[in-house]
Amino acid sequence: MVGIFLPYFVGPKHVQAAVDAARKLLHVTGHGEPGGPWIEVGVGVHYGTAFVGTVGSKDGVTDITVLGDIPNVTARLSSAAAAGEILISDEAYKRAGLPEILELRSLELKGKSEPFSVRVLRQAVPSGEAGTASRQD
C-alpha cells in the first residue's frame, strides 16, 4: 500500500500527516495490543519529490502511479521495517518535527551506494502489558 501526502492537499504539515497515518495503520492492525497484531506490518516514511501521473492503454485502462527515487526508497524502507516499526528517513524525521528522540539505524538499501540513515518509531504496547511482535519472512 502506498500513501502520498502532497502539500497541496494535506497542507504544510504533510510529513507529520504521513507519520500520523503510519501510526494509525499500526494501531488499526493491532500492533501494540496485548494479544499482538492481527496482521504484522512495518511502515516506511520518506520525503522528497516524486513523479505522480496516470498510465493507461488505448483500451482506456488508467491507473495512478508514482515514480522516482523517493517512492523506491520508501518501498525499501517499508520492506526493511519489522512488524510494528515505522522507519522514517532522516529528512522526513527533520521535517515532521517529531518531539520524540528516536533510535538511529543505518540500512543498506538496494540501489544506494552509501548506508541510509533512518529513525525507528515502534508502536508501544499499552502500559502494564508485555509482549512484542516479530516479523517472519
Domain ranges (residues) in the chain: 12-89+117-122
Predicted pLDDT of residue 59: 82
Give dist(CA 21, CA 80) in Å, integer. Answer: 18
Ordered DSSP codes for 10-36: H-TTHHHHHHHHHHHHHHHTTTTSTT-
pLDDT in tens, 112-135: 999 999 999 997 655 444 444 333
Per-residue pLDDT of the chain (137 residues; tens, 9 = 90+): 788 898 889 999 999 999 999 999 999 999 988 888 999 999 999 999 999 888 887 887 788 889 999 999 999 999 999 999 999 999 999 999 988 889 999 999 998 999 999 999 997 655 444 444 333 33
Q: How many CA atoms, within 13 angstroms, populate the side-chain half-sphere of residue 8?
A: 1
pTM over 0.85: no
Predicted pLDDT of residue 135: 37
Query: Is the CATH number 2.40.170.20 carried by domain 12-89+117-122?
Result: no
